Chain A
Amino acid sequence: QLQLQESGPGLVKPSETLSLTCTVSGGSIGRSSYYWGWIRQPPGKGLEWIGHIYYNGNTNYNPSLKSRVTMSVDMSKDQFSLKLSSVTAADTAVYYCLRIAARVVDYWGQGTLVAVSS
């Protein structure tokens, strides 16, 4: 059974960079049929797609966040990562890592709350 687990700081200061890692178990990031991505959900609000990365490093980011987002993949560890720079309080959210198949999310991590505050 595929499992995804987010890890990273739960508190980030304004203007700094949010960094999260997702570890995949029960499967390999290197399978060619899937993309690996991130979605976030501010407390009490809806879902926002951040972007995804393919095992070869190709990325696709939400234009609304593109200038601040960087994703990377480490196939040797079956991990992929998210960096979001210049964060503000508006970036406070639960961040989910996920697997995307045919532009649909079929596996989700449990989510990790990241708060932006001084």
Chain B
Amino acid sequence: DIQMTQSPSTLSASVGDRVTITCRASQNIDSWLAWYQQKPGKAPKLLIFKASSLESGVPSRFSGSGSGTEFTLTISSLQPDDFATYYCQQSNSYPLTFGGGTKVEIK
């Protein structure tokens, strides 16, 4: 199985901050990486697929980059609605695997 490692596990930030979350894969996954946002008590929501493609309806302040084994999710200017937990997921091969999550908290 491909192991996905996210850092940090928790991030404290303020509204308006630029936020970056990192995801590392245990082997090369090219650009087969997705990012999800999950709020308490809700299902995750797809933000980005194929490392940098924005899902329809997702605000442009979210962006993704990277390839191979290292990837980042960036929120250019953190908004109140963005405080949530973020997960990366490799879509290179089965079994699909997820990172452990990064919780973005209010500073």
Question: A residues within 8 Å of B by Cβ?
Answer: 46-49, 60, 62-64, 96, 102-106, 108-111
Q: How far is the CA of A62 from the CA of B95 in the complex (A)?
A: 5
B71 to chain A, nearest CB (A): 14
Q: Say whether, besides A105-B46, A108-B44, A110-B43, A49 and B91 are in contact (CB < 8 Å).
A: no
Interface residues on chain B, number (Cβ under 8 Å): 23
Q: Which interface residue of B42, B92, B98, B99 has the most chain A CB atoms within 10 A?
A: B98
Q: Do most interface residues of chain A lie in helix, strand or loop, or is the interface mixed?
A: loop
Task: Let me know if B64 is at the binding interface, CB within 8 A.
Answer: no
With A103-B32, A104-B49, A106-B55 already in contact, the answer to whether A111 and B98 are too (CB < 8 A) is no
- A111 contacts B49, C-beta separation under 8 Å: no
Known A-B contacts A102-B91, A104-B91; the reply to A46 vs B46 at CB < 8 A is no
A-B contact count (CB 8 A): 46
Residues facing A in B59-107 (CB within 8 A) are 87, 89, 91-92, 94-101
Cα distance, A103 to B91, chains bound together (Å): 5
**A105-B44, A110-B43, A111-B43 known; A46+B91 contact, CB < 8 A:** no
Find out whether the CB atom of A103 lies under 8 angstroms from the CB atom of B43.
no
Chain A residues positioned under 8 Å from B21 (CB to CB): none
Q: Which residues of B contact A106 (CB under 8 A)?
A: 46, 55
Residues of B within 8 A of A96 (CB): 43
Interface flag for B34 (CB, 8 Å)? yes
| Distance, CA A46 to CA B96, complexed state (A) | 13
Contact across chains for A46 and B49 when beta carbons are under 8 A apart:
no
The closest CB in chain B to the CB of A61 belongs to B95
A46 pairs with B100, CB closer than 8 A: yes
Across the interface, which residues of B come within 8 angstroms of A111, CB to CB?
A: 43
Give 21 pairs: A residue, B residue, CB < 8 Å, sorted on A. Answer: A46-B99, A46-B101, A47-B87, A47-B98, A48-B98, A49-B95, A49-B98, A60-B94, A63-B1, A102-B91, A103-B91, A103-B94, A103-B96, A104-B49, A104-B91, A105-B34, A106-B46, A108-B45, A109-B43, A110-B42, A110-B43
